[in-house]
Amino acid sequence: MLKRMLILALGLFSFMAFAQSARQSTLVVGVDLGDLITLDPQVSYEFSGSLITDNLYETLVRFEGNDLSEVQPSLASTWSVETQADGSHKIVFNLRDASFSSGNPVTAADVVYSFDRAIGIAGPSSFLITDVAKMTVGSTVAVDDQTVELNIPADANPNIVLNLLTFNIGGIVDSKVVMEHEVDGDFGSTWLRENSAGSGPYVLERWDAGAQVILTANENASRVGPIKRVILRNMQESSAQQAALESGEIDVAYNFTPEAFNAAKSNPDYTALQTDSFQMTYLGMNSGEGKAFADNRIRQAVRYAVDQDGIINDLLGGLGRKMQTIIPFGLFASDDTLYYERDVEKAKSLLAEAGADGLSVEFLVSTGSCGGGIPCADLGAKIQSDLAEVGINANIRQLPQSELLDIYRAQGAELVVVGWSPDYPDPDGNATPLGDYNAKSLAWRNDWNNPEASELAAAAALEADSAKRGDLYGQLTKLVAEEGPFAILYQPSVPIVTRAYVQDFIRNAQGNVDFDKVSKTE
């Protein structure tokens, strides 16, 4: 009898120990997965899609941890850049030994397939490959099993190309497995949407739409960490994440409100991480001929009217940096000069000079949340009251994000508050869209055509000498800060709160987290 009880107790004990270790090696993240559409690395272009695919697939080169200044080896152990006589570039990558989760080795053919696949699918982020890197089918060539050559034309900057290959669109897929699942020339994207075939530290175990994504350790991976299972739970309400973190139901929460985040800082059970981002939240002012903000004095008046400190300190609870130029902190050539200071009187006199007393504009505000996780509605209301103080009447029109973008894209917005993040961590990721009208991006959307800014942006993009490049960007940021169609509001931080026992949860400014680096003590 005693013996049986002993066995039972032992069994129970070992079960509990097992449960305990399962908890130790499982990381549960509460995050808003509302934007998740696909887990195909060549299609995904959303925040949560990138976060996940970065852990399923490896790229040729990558950034390590928080350091985004220089690309590091990943699937490629070494590479070299040669500029040809005609000015075009050849990048040669040497692959290291690695295998996919299926056991197949990673070969040059997989790299060629993956890049051509990105071009063939023409997904939402494919312009990075086709328009920025200016690659076509045939640009990527397998020299032998371990060597890949990438040929890009003279008007593409090889540093920027290396930079954007760190994105999930550059993730290398297992060509043998994916080709087995091709249907009607879809490059297997229907299958890869909810399956994985990569060499990253995790494989996709399941995706319960609207509820959760579960990753388990990839047994064939070269990157191995203590966390064997990652569960990303879809929690759209901040209050829900707060409650779940408190009860230990989740280990990491992504969407704390500024208030809750500041309270978490003094809680010994929590670690509050104010992580960087390259995002910026800004006001766009339509500067086209005959439009409300055609006169730069009115744009200046708006810049002088907005209470940046109030927004950052009170509304964001400090979760943002004051910024007035188009190149954010953390990027090469970022410009932290403050070109203007809040000055209600000056704004009023600028408006009077421009003959714009009693100016009334339509102000587009998204129904969703803006940088730093605050509702755009709150930010819009704050700006509306700031502008009212100097005599500008901004009539808020609240729209779903998608509808707002649609109007903005067609140059249809008079005044709009939105966010932007560069497509790749290089100043060009901001300078061209925000400075160059011809890029048909943000400068165009606000109908601001300044040939000098266009030239500066184009020249800086291709400049190889970094001192000269920095100088060109300095001129550009000053020009746009003083004359551009934007009032930059702030560069938001992403507030992440973890239980104190979670170690090494590092989110870099691009939003990537290496789950294999994370561990749990307890």
Site for another protein, residues 349 to 378, rule: CB under 8 A: 365, 367-368, 375, 377-378
Write out the binding residues for another protein, residues 392-411 only, by CB under 8 A. Answer: 396-403, 405-409
Q: Which of residues 176-195 bind another protein (CB under 8 A)?
A: 193
Query: Measured from the CB of residue 59, what is the shortest distance to another protein in angstroms?
Result: 20
Question: Whose Cβ is closer to another protein: residue 84's or residue 385's?
Answer: 385
Strands 229-234 vs 26-31: parallel, antiparallel or unpaired: parallel
Helices (H) and strands (E) in the chain, counts: 18, 21
Cβ atoms 365, 375 nearer than 8 A? no
- The encoded tokens of residue 491 equal 């560069």
Query: Among 78, 239, 393, 411, which residue sits at the site for another protein (rule: CB under 8 A)?
Result: 239
Residue with Cβ nearer another protein (46 or 335): 46
Site string for another protein, 246-275 (x = CB under 8 A): xx-xx------x-xx---------------
> Least distance from C-beta 19 to another protein, angstroms?
8
Quickly list H helices, 270-375.
296-305, 308-310, 344-353
Q: Give least dist CB 179 to another protein, A.
A: 21
Q: Site residues for another protein, window 43-102 (CB under 8 A)?
A: 45-46
Rounded CA gap, 15 and 20, in Å?
8
Q: Provide the mask over 456-495, with x wherever binding to another protein is found by CB under 8 A and - wherever it is not.
A: ----------------------------------------
Contact string 204-233 vs another protein (x = CB under 8 A)? --x-xxxxx-x----------------x-x
Handedness of CA 421, 424, 425, 430 (dihedral sign): negative
Q: Could you tell me where the DSSP H helices lie in 25-123?
A: 47-56, 108-121
To the nearest whole angstrom, how small is the minimum distance from the Cβ of residue 295 to another protein?
27
Enumerate residues 313-332 that contact another protein by CB under 8 A: 314-315
Per-residue b or e along 92-126, where b marks 16 or more CB atoms closer than 10 Å to that residue's CB: bbbbeebbbbeebebbbebbbbbbbbbbbbebebb
Q: How many residues bind another protein (CB under 8 A)?
A: 73
Instruction: Quickly list H helices, 45-95.
Output: 47-56
As a whole number of angstroms, the distance between CA 267 and CA 170 comes to: 40
Rounded Cα distance, 19 and 15, in Å: 6
Interactions with another protein, residue window 419-458 (CB under 8 A): 423, 440-441
> Closest distance between another protein and the C-beta of residue 242, in Å?
7
Closest distance to another protein from the beta carbon of 313 (Å): 8
